Each structure stands twice: as structure tokens, then as C-alpha cells.
Amino acid sequence: MRARTSSAAGVAFLAVMLGALVGVARVHAAPRGGLYGVARRGPVTPVCRVGIPCVAPAGGLELTFSPAGGPTYHVTTTAVGRYRISLPPGRYSVTRAAPSVGPGGRLTPVVVRVPPTGWKRVDFSLDTGIR
């Protein structure tokens, strides 16, 4: 009877340990999603007029995503302002590398959330300071 009890306890212990290891693997798994979107800068002229674009793509803009207490992630926008970055789920502060795109520099939004799975679109605006 003791052999069966210790055997059952051993199997239960192994099941718990295996479950714990699988749980750890899930926590450190590669991102299954992230963010994508377009970055624009503006205004690009002192006076905005109807029918004439007042914003332009923010090509070459380096964005830095920083979670609380974790590593930072970087992505640079394409010539037409597009970006795509794989990130673990969570909340990130977003900044731009200076002197990225022209004068000014207030980037919005400054905080983003990455969903647990899938991709989320977040567009960024860079205030050029032209008035």
C-alpha cells in the first residue's frame, strides 16, 4: 500500500512540476503580436489651407517603446511613415530618438497598450512646432 501511495504522490508531484515548467515557458514565449501604424508630422506649413495637406509622413522616425522595468524596443519608420514592431503584451511609454525628424518633437500618444494576442494599430503624430 505504501508503494502505491508514494507512487501516486510522485506522479502528482511530477504533474505539478511539469505544469509549472509549461507556465514558465508561456511567460517567456516570443511575442504573438505587437503594434503597427503610421507616423505623421505636422503642421508642415505655417498656414494650413483647404485642399493642401498640412501633415506629411514622418519617415526615418525612431520610436522607442519602454515597459516599466523591462528592456526597451526600437523601430524606425519607413520613408512613408509606416512601422511594425513585435512586442510582448503590456503597457509601454513611447519616446522618439532626437534629433529624429525635424524641429519640434512632441510625440503623441506617449503611452500605448499591446494586447495579449494579435496586432493593434496605433498611429503617431509628431508636432513640428511650426505656427
- How do residues 29-70 score in pLDDT, each as one tens digit? 566 899 999 999 999 888 888 988 889 999 999 999 999 988
Which pLDDT does position 56 carry in this prediction? 94
Residues in CB range of 31: below 8 A, 6 or more apart = 86, 87, 88, 89, 114
Which pLDDT does position 31 carry in this prediction? 61
**Is it the case that residue 16 has pLDDT exceeding 50?**
no
- Spell out the domain ranges in the chain: 1-30, 33-127
Assigned CATH topology for domain 33-127: Immunoglobulin-like (2.60.40)
Sort 83 into a burial class: Cβ within 10 Å, 0-12 / 13-18 / 19+. buried
- How do residues 75-121 score in pLDDT, each as one tens digit? 999 999 999 999 999 999 999 986 544 556 789 999 999 999 999 99
Q: What is the pTM for the complete model shown?
A: 0.71
More confident residue, 16 or 89: 89
If pLDDT is split at 50, 70 and 90, which confidence band does 23 have?
A: very low
**CA–CA dist 34, 86 (Å, integer):** 4
